[in-house]
Amino acid sequence: MTELDSRYEAVRSRDARFDGEFFFAVTTTGIYCRPSCPAVTPKRPNVRFFATAAAAQGAGFRACRRCRPDAVPGSADWNVRADVVGRAMRLIGDGVVDREGVAGLAVRLGYSARQVQRQLTAELGAGPVALARAQRAHTARTLLQTTGLPVTEIAFASGFASVRQFNDTVRTVYAATPTELRAAVRGASRTATPASGIPLRLAHRGPYPAGPVFDLLAREAVPGVEEVSGPPGTRTYRRTLRLPYGTGIVAVDERAQDPGRATAVHPGGWLDARLSLTDPRDLTTAVQRLRRLFDLDADPYAVDERLGADPRLAPLVAARPGLRAPGAADPEEYAVRALVGSTGAAELVRAHGKALDAPAGTLTHLFPEPAALAAAPGPLGTLAAALADGAVRLDPGADRDDAQAALLALPGLDGRTVAAIRARALGDPDVAPPGTAVPDTWRPWRTYALHHLRAAEDLTS
The 3 state secondary structure assigned to 346-402 is HHHHHHHCEEEEEEECCEEEECCCHHHHCCCCHHHHHHHHHHHCCCCCCCCCCCHHH
Question: Does 47 score more than 90 pLDDT?
Answer: yes
Least confident stretch, 66-75, 226-235, 387-396: 66-75
387 and 335 in contact (C-beta within 8 Å)? yes
413 and 383 in contact (C-beta within 8 Å)? yes
Question: Does 187 score more than 60 pLDDT?
Answer: no
Task: Provide the residue ranges of all domains of the chain, joining segments of one domain with +.
Answer: 3-53, 77-146+149-183, 198-285, 331-428
**Tens-place pLDDT, residues 324-345:** 999 999 999 999 999 999 999 9
pLDDT > 90: percent of the chain:
85
Question: Does 461 score more than 90 pLDDT?
Answer: no
Distance, in Å, from the CA atom of 171 to the CA atom of 249, rounded to the nearest integer, reads 32
Starting from the edge strand earliest in sequence, which strands make up the sheet with 23-26, in order? 47-50, 23-26, 31-33, 62-63
pLDDT at 258: 46
pLDDT > 70: percent of the chain:
94
- Confidence label for 77 from pLDDT (cuts 50, 70 and 90): confident
- In this structure, the number of other CB atoms found within 10 A of the CB of residue 222 comes to 22
- Confidence label for 192 from pLDDT (cuts 50, 70 and 90): low
pLDDT at 223: 98
Question: Does 264 score more than 60 pLDDT?
Answer: no
217 and 228 in contact (C-beta within 8 Å)? yes
Degrees, nearest 5: CA angle 321-77-226? 65
Burial class for 153, CB neighbours closer than 10 Å (0-12, 13-18, 19+): middle
pLDDT at 186: 58
pLDDT at 259: 43
84 and 92 in contact (C-beta within 8 Å)? no
Spatial neighbors of 135 by CB under 8 A, at least 6 apart, are 92, 93, 95, 159, 284
Question: Does 261 score more than 70 pLDDT?
Answer: no
Least confident stretch, 69-83, 248-262, 346-360: 248-262
Whether the ω angle into residue 35 lies within 30 degrees of 0, i.e. cis, is no
pTM: 0.92
**Tens-place pLDDT, residues 212-243:** 999 999 999 999 999 999 999 999 999 999 99
- Which whole number is the average pLDDT over 19-29? 95
Mapping DSSP onto H, E and C, the string for the chain reads CCHHHHHHHHHHCCCHHHECCEEEEECCCCEEECCCCCCCCCCHHHEEEECCHHHHHHCCCEECCCCCHHHCCCCCHHHHCCCHHHHHHHHHHCCHHHHHHHHHHHHHHCCCHHHHHHHHHHHHCCCHHHHHHHHHHHHHHHHHHHECCCHHHHHHHCCCCCHHHHHHHHHHHHCCCHHHHHHCCCCCCCCECCCCCEEEEEEECCCCCHHHHHHHHHHHCCCCCEEEECCCCCCEEEEEEECCCCEEEEEEECCCCCHHHCCCCCCCEEEEEEEEECCHHHHHHHHHHHHHHCCCCCCHHHHHHHHCCCCCCHHHHHHCCCCCCCCCCCHHHHHHHHHHHHHHHHHHHHHHCEEEEEEECCEEEECCCHHHHCCCCHHHHHHHHHHHCCCCCCCCCCCHHHHHHHHHCCCCCCHHHHHHHHHHCCCCCCCCCCCCCCCHHHCCCHHHHHHHHHHCCCCCC
Q: How many residues does the chain have?
A: 461
Question: Does 269 score more than 70 pLDDT?
Answer: yes
- Which whole number is the average pLDDT over 310-335? 97
- In this structure, the number of other CB atoms found within 10 A of the CB of residue 422 comes to 23
- Confidence label for 265 from pLDDT (cuts 50, 70 and 90): very low
Average pLDDT value over all residues in the chain: 92
- Confidence label for 195 from pLDDT (cuts 50, 70 and 90): low
Question: Does 189 score more than 70 pLDDT?
Answer: no
406 and 421 in contact (C-beta within 8 Å)? no
**Tens-place pLDDT, residues 132-157:** 999 999 999 999 988 888 999 999 99
pLDDT at 237: 98
Q: Under CATH, which number does the domain 3-53 receive?
A: 3.40.10.10
Looking at CATH, the fold of the domain delimited by 77-146+149-183 is given as Arc Repressor Mutant, subunit A (1.10.10)
Least confident stretch, 87-91, 194-198, 433-437: 194-198
- Confidence label for 191 from pLDDT (cuts 50, 70 and 90): low
Looking at CATH, the fold of the domain delimited by 331-428 is given as Endonuclease III; domain 1 (1.10.340)
Question: Does 437 score more than 90 pLDDT?
Answer: no
Distance, in Å, from the CA atom of 61 to the CA atom of 25, rounded to the nearest integer, reads 7
pLDDT at 216: 96
pLDDT at 6: 94
